[in-house]
């Protein structure tokens, strides 16, 4: 299944610190994974238009029912404003009905380190999961 590669909606100032979020979602069923995947392009498009978004990517493994997101934001408030806006808010509430597991992790990096790597995101998500 193709990934949606890193894109930079708005470049951060080179000397800025950016707020990063990585998430891992696993659906309970393959039908749930297909539903999640079909909603993903609209959410990615929303992120690309969101104020304060400095980067976004999706790694979709539909047959494994697993999805990773990686995004960079101006600050935590920009991420939270996006999360509360439509269509993300409604989609995330609906997705909770078919989610098996969700893991989130957050950190900051200098803007000069963008774009972020999947390796770093996966390492941090694994640490987050094992600490719960």
Has residue 6 got a pLDDT over 70?
yes
> What SS3 class is residue 94?
helix
Q: Is the peptide bond before 115 cis (omega within 30 degrees of 0)?
A: yes
Measured distance CA(117)–CA(90) in Å, rounded: 28
Has residue 47 got a pLDDT over 70?
yes
The number of beta carbons lying within 10 Å of the beta carbon of residue 41 is 11
Report CA-CA distances (Å) from 126 to 69, 104, 129: 14, 10, 5
Which residue has better confidence, 86 or 77? Answer: 77
């Amino acid at each position: 299944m193709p990934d949606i590669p890193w894109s930079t909606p708005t470049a951060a100032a080179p000397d800025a610190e950016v707020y990063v979020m990585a998430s891992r979602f696993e659906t309970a069923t393959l039908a749930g994974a297909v539903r999640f995947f079909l909603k993903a392009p609209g959410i990615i498009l929303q992120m690309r238009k969101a104020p304060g978004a400095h980067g976004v990517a999706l790694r979709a493994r539909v047959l494994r029912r697993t999805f990773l997101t990686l995004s960079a934001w101006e600050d935590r408030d920009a991420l939270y404003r996006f999360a509360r806006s439509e269509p993300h808010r409604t989609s995330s509430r609906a997705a909770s009905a078919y989610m098996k597991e969700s893991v989130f992790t957050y950190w900051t990096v200098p803007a000069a380190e963008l774009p972020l790597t999947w390796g770093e995101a996966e390492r941090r998500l694994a640490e987050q999961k094992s600490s719960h």
